[in-house]
Amino acid sequence: MNIFLKLIALLILVKLAALCYLNFGVSIDVIDPLLRKTFRLSEAVVIFGAFLGGIIFTLCLSYSTFSAISYKLKKESRNAEKNLVSAEASQDKIKMLEAKIETLEVALKEALKK
């Protein structure tokens, strides 16, 4: 799946490069409402800018999703470690109580013999 997605990304990049090359001579007028000026830009620059904006948006979205998943994974691993430690502690308590019971049983048998 990873190779397939990389192939699709490469095909999109090649198509974008071809589209920018074909439209490099075509220019469009861009109006800036704040400065009240008109700028003449190549259509290739506008297409490339939109592509770059899409890449930045995708990276930001992916990073936020990855960081949320990473946080949840760390939280779950901490919970698992905490449960493991408490399970080990209760097993140690059980072994200690069993040893005490054995000691008391031996002491009781010796006391009954005397």
Q: How far apart are CA 76 and CA 28, in angstroms?
A: 53
| pLDDT of res. 76 | 92
Tell me the one-letter amino acid at 80. Answer: A
| pLDDT of res. 50 | 86
Residue 100 has pLDDT above 80, yes or no: yes
Q: How far apart are CA 26 and CA 5, in angstroms?
A: 32
Partners of 28 in the β-ladder: 41
| pLDDT of res. 38 | 85
b/e per residue 21-30 (b: at least 16 CB within 10 A): eebeeeeeee
Number of domains in the chain: 1
Q: Show the domain range for 57.
A: 2-113
What mean pLDDT is predicted for residues 24-39?
Answer: 81
What's the pLDDT band for 74 if we cut at 50, 70, 90?
very high
What's the pLDDT band for 73 if we cut at 50, 70, 90?
very high
| Percent of the chain whose predicted confidence (pLDDT) is above 70 | 99
Residue 23 has pLDDT above 80, yes or no: no
Provide the greatest CA pair distance for the chain: 112
H-run or E-run covering 114: none
Q: Mean pLDDT across the chain, nearest whole number?
A: 84
Task: Tell me if residue 21 falls in helix, strand or coil.
Answer: helix
Tell me the one-letter amino acid at 47. Answer: I
Q: How far apart are CA 114 and CA 112, in angstroms?
A: 5
Q: By the 8 A CB rule, do 43 and 16 touch?
A: no
